[in-house]
Structure 1
Amino acid sequence: MVKAVVLGAAGGIGQPLSLLLKNSPLVSELSLYDVVNTPGVAADLSHIATPAKVTGYLPADDGLKKALTDADIVVIPAGIPRKPGMTRDDLFKINAGIVKGLIQGIAENCPRAFILIISNPVNSTVPIAAEVLRKNKCFDPTRLFGVTSLDVVRAQTFVSEIVGESDPRKFTVPVVGGHSGETIVPLLSQTQPPVTIPSDKIRGLIKRIQFGGDEVVEAKGGAGSATLSMAFAGFRFAESVIKITKGEKGIVEPTFIYLAGVEGGEDVRKVTGLDFFAVPVELGPNGAAKARNPLEKATAEEKELINVCKTGLSQNIAKGVEFVAASAKL
């Protein structure tokens, strides 16, 4: 029996993510929560002929508590998109506040659940989650994940297009760092099976992986962002986490983690000087079992990208930690 919870289930990512989870044979109970429309989304999904029982909750009548009680895995795509006239700082404060409140709910109702954070900016929301859990004395770094899978999915897809492979799933492309812009570092030299990218296309490929979200926003005429691909990537990671609870072994997924709390993470921390960083992580029955360090094998050009990444990521992490500290003083 696996109870999966989606917080932000009525949104652009939440609905397709919930659909994918409802269709998964690994999920026996699907609990949905959002501030609007959740009962309708739940009713719609409940008509699908798969075993998972679906329930939907709103904030009223302890909805968050009911949604989270007995949860095994919680996926958080909650948040709002940037609107006209809204600064990035305005957006950060709103989404940071949303995530902080939801994590508090997790700490109170299902502190041992696996927590998968999709809500942007992941580089800051994961540190926010860690700080809230720490204050509630229930922070387990092996169970807190920032979902960076979309960067990997894009890398697989874009590499396949260049080399002429019809099935992107044949490639494994390590993507490290963070989950926005130049903090995203694809280690193309470590692609498996090995590929040869024409030298005149490498820079463009890296930029496309880093800023693939802009491509989607532009294609949608500014009326939306990467919701469907993010839902797919989020589900893929969630399914991997559920599989390890069922005893499956050998699953490795890149994810944004608190390095010092995961075996092997300290080696990455010594190289980067950062507390949080996305690296390939071997998953085990209790969560993140071992972090792998692909940084030493990076090429000189990739190490330059990592240096740029570290500067931006350091600021993002600090912003998340400072947000929680400032909130506590209010």
Structure 2
Amino acid sequence: MVKAVVCGAAGGIGQPLSLLLKLNPLITELSLYDVVNAIGVATDLSHIATPAQVTGYLPPDNGAEKALKDADIVVIPAGVPRKPGMTRDDLFKVNAGICATLAQAIANACPKAFILVISNPVNSTVPVFAETLKKAGVFDPKKLFGVSHLDIVRAATFAATVVSSPADAPKYSIPVVGGHSGATIVPLLSQSNPKIPAEILSNKEKRDALVNRIQFGGDEVVKAKDGAGSATLSMAQAGAEFTEFVLQAAYGKKSRTVQAYVFLGADSGGEGVKKEIGAEVDYFSVNIELGPAGIEKILPIGTIDDQERTLLAAAVKELGPSIEKGVSFTPAPPKL
């Protein structure tokens, strides 16, 4: 019996994400929360013939905590979407209060749940969750994840497109470390499996173009939608896939290595990562080994080439202030 909750279930990411989780055979109870339309989305999904029983909740009568009560895993795409010309840092002022409010509700209703944060800017919102949970005395660093999996999906898709065809994307595994916005996203193309041909990696113009597309793929979608939305469908798929990884490790006994934006203090391997990057940052997207309790190991970045070292240095420089912004967030969150 696994209870999953989606906070922000009626939004552009939330609706397709909720649909994908309804189809997940590991989930037996799906609870949806949002400030509007969550009950309608839940009713719609409840007509689909899968084992998961769906309920929806709105803010009145402490709806957030009712939705979250005894949850095993909480996936959070709540917040406003990015609009043309808006950076992820711009989003912070709007979304940080929402995240703090939901973190407190989680602390009250399901403190042992796995928490998967999609709300942007992830580089800052994950620290907001951590600090709120710390103040409530329930922070488990092994169970808090910033979902950066879309970067992994994009890296595989875009690399396959350059090398051969997008149809080959499922064959590719490319680690992406750092953070989850712009220049903080560092695709380790030199570690690609299968290998990216040398004629691409050694061609500065081609390589830079590939790296740039992975780093700023979100902007590509925002521009293509002409102000009507951001990367919702691809993010929903990536979020559902990462949720599957966590559930398989926790309940299916299938541990695996993935990348996520995590608190480096969750495992002793985090200190090794800090030495590799030469910086005292507390959060980083890195290889982790998942198990029943969440993060079992934080794994090394490994061997990288000179271009990746340059990208990593730029990522760390930008990541530090973003993390601090989340850690130092103190204004009272808005009432949902």
TM-score (norm 1): 0.95
1:276 aligns with 2:283: yes
How many residue pairs get matched? 326
Structure 1 partner of 2:256: 251
The one-character-per-residue Cα deviations of 1:32-60 (angstroms, maximum 9, x if unpaired) are 00000011000000001111000000001
Question: Does the Cα contact within 8 Å between 2:46 and 2:54 map onto a contact in 1?
Answer: yes
Matches for 1:153-232 after TM superposition, within 5 Å: 153-165=153-165, 166-196=167-197, 198=200, 199=203, 200-232=205-237
After TM superposition, the structure 1 stretch with the greater mean CA deviation from structure 2, 154-163 or 242-251, is 242-251
Q: CA deviation at 1:327?
A: 4.5
The alpha-carbon distance between structure 1 residues 195 and 86, as it changes in their structure 2 partners (threshold 3 A), is closer
Give the deviation of 1:61 after TM superposition: 1.4
Quickly say closer, same or farther: Cα 1:306–1:115, change in 2 above 3 A: same
Tell which deviates more after alignment, 246-255 or 277-286: 246-255
Check whether the contact 1:3–1:29 (CA below 8 A) recurs between aligned residues: yes
| Structure 1 runs of 4+ with >3 Å offset | 82-91
For residues 47 and 327 of structure 1, the distance between their equivalents in structure 2, rounded to whole angstroms, comes to: 39
Rounded Cα–Cα distance in structure 2 between residues aligned with 1:117 and 1:269: 22
Distance 1:186 1:194 in 2: 13
TM superposition shift of 1:25: 0.7
Partner of 1:310: 316
CA drift at 1:94: 1.6
* Mapped partners of 2:115, 2:86: distance in 1: 29
CA apart distance, 1:323:
1.0
Distance 1:84 1:221 in 2: 8
Task: Classify the secondary structure of the residue corresponding to 1:97.
Answer: helix
Alpha-carbon contact 2:88-2:121 (below 8 Å) kept: no
1:263–1:289 Cα contact (<8 Å) kept: no
Q: Is the 8 A contact 1:146 1:255 kept in 2?
A: yes
Residue type of the partner of 1:68? L
Q: Name the SS of the counterpart of 1:297 in structure 2.
A: coil
Change (3 A) 1:307 1:99: same
SS of residue paired to 1:255? strand
Structure 2 vs 1, CA of residues 250 and 89 (structure 1 numbering), >3 Å: closer, same or farther? closer
2:235 partner letter: M
Output the TM-score relative to the length of structure 2. 0.93
Q: What amino acid does structure 1 have at the position aligned with 2:196?
A: V
Query: Quick one: structure 1 residues 88 and 163, their matched pair in 2 at CA, closer, same or farther if it must change by over 3 Å?
Result: closer
- Please state whether the residue corresponding to 2:329 is helix, strand or coil: helix
2:289 and 2:150 mapped to 1: Cα distance?
18
Q: Which amino acid aligns with 1:55?
A: T
Bigger shift: residues 272-281 or 143-152: 272-281
Aligned-partner SS, 2:297: strand
* Stretch moving more, 193-202 or 11-20: 193-202
Residue type at the aligned position of 1:314: G
CA distance in 1, matches of 2:47, 2:34: 20
Q: Distance in 2 between matches of 1:179 and 1:289?
A: 22
The one-letter code matched in structure 2 to 1:222 is: G
Show CA shifts across 1:291-316 (max 9, x none): 1112x411111000000000110010
Counterpart contact for 2:6–2:76, Cα < 8 Å: yes
**Counterparts of residues 132-147 of structure 1 (less than 5 Å):** 132-147=132-147
Paired letter, 2:151: D
Amino acid of the residue matched to residue 180 of structure 1? S
- The correspondence for 2:294, drawn from 259, 277, 287, is 287
> Quick one: which of 215, 220, 233 aligns to 2:238?
233
Letter of the 2:304 counterpart: A
What stretches of structure 1 of length at least 5 have no aligned partner? none
Contact 1:104 1:133 in 2 (8 A): yes
Task: Tell me the residue number matched to 1:122.
Answer: 122
| SS of equivalent to 2:328 | helix
**1-side partners of 2:328 and 2:46: how far apart?**
41
